[in-house]
């Protein structure tokens, strides 16, 4: 490294954002993630012993994936190389592989390659790394916000240990905020700033588990707040609210948050909890989820989980879907809320859902017998002459507009697929069917 490179790196380090400057340098400085780096945990022991295999760190933004990679870089005796998959190409990897082979051959030294945003590599780029990970030329550390089982080559997955990082707890972020305010060397300590407890608590909560969001807000607050008469910079609640104007909702339409939230949304409606259901509705709308997608889930729930216990639920859901699409946001949220709370509060029955599932299974696994002759159509050419429809009893010619006759194919007489529940309107349906048949 020449003098100019050294000066440039020095300048960049000093002028880097607070969240970058404050990155832990050792394991003992890391806050949170004790489920994987607690002193009795495998990852802690492997880093301390410098005996790492290939790893993939998976978790939401701001939870410490890159931080752990940097800690490993500061701890290991191996060569440490870092690339970002958003800008790196095959040529970059070829140069790293060549250097790794030289280092291993000449000095017996391992090479750790940290690939940030590894899910951004296409299949060909991931495949290129595979043989070098397999033969030990490279120890791979990948970081991703996406579920690696969906986004990372299965062959790389099988050769790596996956560690899932969780959103930081509020107390963890509070600790980082205080460290940022008081650290003279790498934090904002030279500014003589003070953050009020309610402001710190607000930032820690509003960051929603993302340490970077909280530290960015602290830095902005310190740099943009004037000194008070006592010579200190006071970050109060009002300043904190200015610095982080919108809660960072973790919601990726192609990732786990999407599936987890919609799952909780449906299960809350099914479980007759309108408060939880409308909360998850709000999370999806706030995060920009497509209202057509939300509407489809409400309609499915109305049919699958409410069914004939309240047939009106499906009508409400369909009407809400049409109205929401025609009107659009923000007003559509009111319409969707009406449908969600109606479906959540409606009596529940999955009898209709179970009926079609059982019938489909019967069709799939059993021999399909002919439609009984008396139910066959006699109106198409030649059908009457063949006796199709002979013996059919017209229900409206009989008392109660009902007459006993065989409707299921031969061999299936007496099979029951639909079993009305004792909930809501289905109690009336059940009573009506019993009245008909007695």
pLDDT at 29 over 70: yes
Task: Label each residue of 50-93 as H, E or C.
Answer: CCCCCEEEECCCCCCHHHHHHHHHHHCCCEEEEEECCCCCHHHH
**Distance between start and end Cα atoms, the chain:** 96
Task: Indicate the SS3 state at residue 232.
Answer: coil
Task: Label each residue of 423-436 as H, E or C.
Answer: CCHHHHHHHHHHHH
Q: Which residues pair with 116 in a beta bridge?
A: 84, 143
CATH of domain 370-437: 1.10.3710.10
Q: Which residues pair with 58 in a beta bridge?
A: 144, 164
Contact between 25 and 53 under an 8 Å Cβ cutoff? The reply is no
CA separation for the pair 240, 346 (Å, rounded): 42
pLDDT of residue 108: 87
Confidence of residue 181 (pLDDT cuts 50, 70, 90): very high
The answer, yes or no, to whether the previous bond of 70 is cis (omega within 30 of 0) is: no
- The fold adopted by the segment(s) 256-345 is Zinc Finger, Delta Prime; domain 3 (1.20.272)
Contacts of 29 (CB under 8 A, 6+ apart): 71
Contacts of 404 (CB under 8 A, 6+ apart): 437
Contact between 336 and 298 under an 8 Å Cβ cutoff? The reply is yes
CA separation for the pair 322, 295 (Å, rounded): 9
Residue 354: which of 394, 309, 322 has the closest Cα?
309
User: Hey, how many other C-beta atoms are within 10 angstroms of the C-beta on 292?
Assistant: 10
User: Hey, which of 85-89, 197-201, 289-293, 303-307 has the most confident mean pLDDT?
Assistant: 303-307
Confidence of residue 6 (pLDDT cuts 50, 70, 90): very low
Contacts of 75 (CB under 8 A, 6+ apart): 26, 27, 47, 48, 50
CA separation for the pair 399, 379 (Å, rounded): 27
Contacts of 218 (CB under 8 A, 6+ apart): 18, 177, 180, 181, 188, 195, 203, 235, 243
Torsion sign across C-alpha atoms 169, 174, 177, 183: negative
Contact between 323 and 372 under an 8 Å Cβ cutoff? The reply is no
pLDDT of residue 180: 93
pLDDT of residue 19: 86
Kindly state the percentage of the chain with pLDDT values over 90.
51
Contacts of 136 (CB under 8 A, 6+ apart): 104, 110
What are 148-178's pLDDT values in tens digits? 988 898 999 999 999 999 888 889 999 999 9
pLDDT of residue 196: 92
- For 170-243, CATH number out of 3.40.50.2300, 1.10.3720.10, 1.10.8.60, 3.40.50.970 equals 1.10.8.60
Torsion sign across C-alpha atoms 154, 156, 158, 164: negative
Residues 33-164, CATH architecture: 3-Layer(aba) Sandwich (3.40)
Which segments of 108-152 does DSSP mark as H helices, in order? 123-134, 148-151
Residue 169: which of 17, 62, 26 has the closest Cα?
62
CA separation for the pair 195, 193 (Å, rounded): 7
Contact between 345 and 272 under an 8 Å Cβ cutoff? The reply is yes
Q: Phi and psi for 320 in degrees, rounded to 5?
A: -65, -40
Residue 306: which of 294, 321, 293, 318 has the closest Cα?
318
What are 100-133's pLDDT values in tens digits? 999 988 888 899 999 999 999 999 999 999 999 9
pLDDT of residue 254: 58
Give the pair of three-digit tokens for residue 344.
């959540």
Query: DSSP character for 305?
Result: I
What are 391-414's pLDDT values in tens digits? 899 999 889 998 899 989 998 988
Determine which helix (DSSP H) or strand (DSSP E) holds 314, and give its type and residue range.
helix 312-327
Give the pair of three-digit tokens for residue 174.
């509070």
Residue positions counted in the chain: 438
Q: What is the residue-averaged pLDDT of the chain?
A: 88
pLDDT at 13 over 60: no
Domain residue extents for the chain: 33-164, 170-243, 256-345, 370-437
């Amino acid at each position: 490294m020449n003098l100019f490179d050294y000066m440039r790196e020095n300048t960049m380090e000093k002028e880097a954002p607070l969240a970058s400057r404050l990155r832990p340098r050792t394991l003992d400085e890391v806050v949170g993630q004790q489920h994987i780096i607690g002193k009795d945990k495998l990852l802690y022991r492997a880093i301390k012993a410098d005996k790492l295999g290939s790893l993939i760190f998976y978790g939401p933004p701001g939870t410490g994936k890159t931080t752990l990679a940097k800690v490993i870089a500061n701890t290991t005796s191996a060569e440490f190389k870092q690339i970002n998959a958003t800008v790196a190409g095959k040529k970059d990897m070829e140069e790293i592989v060549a250097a790794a082979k030289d280092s291993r051959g000449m000095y017996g030294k391992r090479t750790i390659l940290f690939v940030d945003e590894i899910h951004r590599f296409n299949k060909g780029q991931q495949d290129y790394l595979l043989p070098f990970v397999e033969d030990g030329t490279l120890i791979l550390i990948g970081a991703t916000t996406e579920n690696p089982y969906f986004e990372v080559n299965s062959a790389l997955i099988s050769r790596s240990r996956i560690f899932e990082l969780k959103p930081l707890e509020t107390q963890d972020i509070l600790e980082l905020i205080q460290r940022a305010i008081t650290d003279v060397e790498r934090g904002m300590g030279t500014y003589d700033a003070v953050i009020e407890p309610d402001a710190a608590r607000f930032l820690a909560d509003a960051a929603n588990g993302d340490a970077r969001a909280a530290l960015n807000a602290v830095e902005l607050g310190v740099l943009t707040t004037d000194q008070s008469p006592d010579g200190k910079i006071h970050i109060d609640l009002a300043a904190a609210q200015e610095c982080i104007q919108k809660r960072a909702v973790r919601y990726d339409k192609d990732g786990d948050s999407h599936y987890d939230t919609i799952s909780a949304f449906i299960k809350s409606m099914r479980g007759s909890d309108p408060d939880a259901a409308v909360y998850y509705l709000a999370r999806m709308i706030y995060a920009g989820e497509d209202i057509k997608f939300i509407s489809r889930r409400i309609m499915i729930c109305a049919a699958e989980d409410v069914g004939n216990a309240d047939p009106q639920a499906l009508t409400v859901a369909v009407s809400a879907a049409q109205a929401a699409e025609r009107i659009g946001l923000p007003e559509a949220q009111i319409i969707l809320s009406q449908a969600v709370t109606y479906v959540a509060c409606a009596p529940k029955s999955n009898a209709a859902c179970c009926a079609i599932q059982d019938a489909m299974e019967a069709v799939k696994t059993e021999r399909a017998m002919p439609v009984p002759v008396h139910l066959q159509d006699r109106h198409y050419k030649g059908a009457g002459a063949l006796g199709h429809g002979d013996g059919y009893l017209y229900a409206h010619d009989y008392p109660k507009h009902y007459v006993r006759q065989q409707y299921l194919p031969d061999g299936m007489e007496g099979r029951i697929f639909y079993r009305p529940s004792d909930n809501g309107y289905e109690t009336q349906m059940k009573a009506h069917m019993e009245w008909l048949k007695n």
